[in-house]
Amino acid sequence: RSLYNTGSILRTADASGVERVVLCGITPRPDQGSRQRRAIAKTALGAEDSVSWEYEPDTVTALRKLAANGYQVVAVEPSREAVDLFVWTPNWPVCLVFGHERDGVSPNLAPHMDAVIRIPMLGHKRSLNVATAAGVVLYELLRRRLYGATSLPAPETRRSR
């Protein structure tokens, strides 16, 4: 529901090479008027134009379309029953589903999920802002795409800046 989150997710999607972002339900969108667009653009810094995005009012419809196109549909949830992000093996292509920051992914979407993953958290809150959670998961997927499914390159082969 946050313009900041939408802009931040679009910007991170651009940086990590995401194919497209599907915005659903009450998620703010750049096409909802100039005030909305400016607020999203303030965080997205142009990614609202460089990342392919679409709007689907009904999340179930969006998930069905993506599943029909061969995507593994994966919820990102802080549930104890979820698979740890760093243990999970994605089946490409992957559709990540992020829910409401407080309430998570709606229970009515559970039948449409192929997997549920969680970001391991050690602190007391055990919670991340949705845009931050998206960044963690997207960059783990990018790491796997660039360096292989399970490991980072040896320290001497990594470049530092």
Among the listed residues 32, 35, 27, 25, the one whose alpha carbon sits nearest the alpha carbon of residue 8: 27
User: DSSP characters for 51-71?
Assistant: S-EEEES-HHHHHHHHHHTTP
Q: pLDDT tens digits for 40-90? A: 999 999 999 999 999 999 999 999 999 999 999 999 998 888 999 999 999
Query: What pLDDT is attached to residue 152?
Result: 43
**How is residue 8 written in tokens?**
């931040």
**How is residue 4 written in tokens?**
């900041």
